[in-house]
Structure 1
């Protein structure tokens, strides 16, 4: 499925439209709960009560689903904890929506924080998958004139989980 989406992204010019970010996130959370692989999920969301609109498309759902799926898949804890923070941020007079997806999973080595977004990257060769998910996510976010990166959830301790940070220009 990701292979098909990746080729569609490469073949066609991406058209953007007004998207309700809250609605896309809610749909992704339903997906996460359905595909939790029998793990208990504790997902907390910190966001404004008002609807947030961004210039995006249907692929925004894929961004959220991929990040949530990885937070569940790469987690050895009995309870998978995911904290999602959504807030507005202004950078160089441009308004962005900043999303943070913090998990208590296995984390990402500091040396791998850039390569995790490259096609074919897999930390653990035994885990199924083609290593396309996060490269697809990065392509989608870039098509929105946004940015994505990963940090440690706890500064200087990658083993305490990851924090995937996304900036998407806000539509006013």
Structure 2
């Protein structure tokens, strides 16, 4: 029993260490990128609007860092984190993630399209679903060499093994992922491996969050049998229903 408690405590510590380290690294990278953009705009353009946008990105990142510290402090126990799972409408969080990503990659031609989906769909989750959306989108953009980056987001409700899920598909035209790597990209530590072939950044963290929601994640080829045409990241999260 004591060994089980020790293992659970260790896993909690590892989860929050990964969450904090990964998100802080993203925040610092975003601030650095925004500062580089600011220098470019100052030297080559009189477009005041772009400079204001860059300033807003930096401010948003500082606020995000403060919120991250606050959230981790509040959720210092995994059981507490699990108890915070409740029915949430994800559409505003998805919109927030898309807006943030578009500002983060101002220098890229990013076209994200959310296909129409059924009104009032809710999932069982919490505020960390934002981390899931952002990490999937960042991955799709960073590992994409096309002049125009296209990401299609499809959302629908399905039943699997008698459980109602909301199914999210993030379909990109990036480098794709070879079959032999499709399973291991969600394992902790794989983000440290060479990224050639679209190795995912922070996908182990995404999987951990989804497992706490009793959700699932997998990746398929955008075009079946040809991984070089891009990826389709499929996420299943239990739907918040009266009988589920």
Is the TM-score greater than 0.5? yes
Q: Say yes or no: does 1:115 pair with 2:131.
A: no
Structure 1 position 132, deviation (Å) = 5.8
Whether the 8 Å CA contact 2:118–2:156 is kept in 1: the answer is: no
Whether the 8 Å CA contact 2:139–2:201 is kept in 1: the answer is: no
Structure 1 position 47, deviation (Å) = 3.1
Report the secondary structure of 1:119's partner residue: coil
Question: Which residue is equivalent to 2:167?
Answer: 98
Q: Could you tell me how far apart the structure 2 residues matched to 1:5 and 1:11 are?
A: 17
Structure 1 position 25, deviation (Å) = 0.7
More helix by share: 2
Of the candidates 18, 25, 31, which is equivalent to residue 94 of structure 2?
25
Q: Could you tell me how far apart the structure 1 residues matched to 2:21 and 2:120 are?
A: 27
Cα RMSD over matched residues?
A: 2.2
More strand by share: 1
Question: Which residue is equivalent to 1:124?
Answer: 194
Aligned in 2, Cα 1:137/1:152: closer, same or farther, shift over 3 Å? same
Question: Which residue is equivalent to 1:42?
Answer: 111
Whether the 8 Å CA contact 2:85–2:124 is kept in 1: the answer is: yes
Structure 1 position 65, deviation (Å) = 0.2
Cα offsets for 1:85-143 (capped at 9, x unmatched): 000111133211000000000011110001111122145358xxxx7610000000111
Equivalent pairs, count: 167
Displaced runs of 4 or more, over 6 A: none
Of the candidates 102, 109, 130, which is equivalent to residue 61 of structure 1?
130
Larger Rg: 2
Whether the 8 Å CA contact 1:63–1:137 is kept in 2: the answer is: yes
Of the candidates 219, 222, 228, which is equivalent to residue 159 of structure 1?
228
After TM superposition, the score normalised by the length of structure 2 is: 0.63
Of the candidates 6, 14, 20, which is equivalent to residue 4 of structure 1?
20
Q: Could you tell me how far apart the structure 1 residues matched to 2:183 and 2:88 are?
A: 28
Whether the 8 Å CA contact 1:74–1:106 is kept in 2: the answer is: yes
Whether the 8 Å CA contact 1:47–1:87 is kept in 2: the answer is: no
Question: Which residue is equivalent to 1:149?
Answer: 218
Question: Which residue is equivalent to 2:156?
Answer: 87
After TM superposition, the score normalised by the length of structure 1 is: 0.88
Whether the 8 Å CA contact 1:67–1:101 is kept in 2: the answer is: yes
Q: Could you tell me how far apart the structure 2 residues matched to 1:61 and 1:38 are?
A: 23
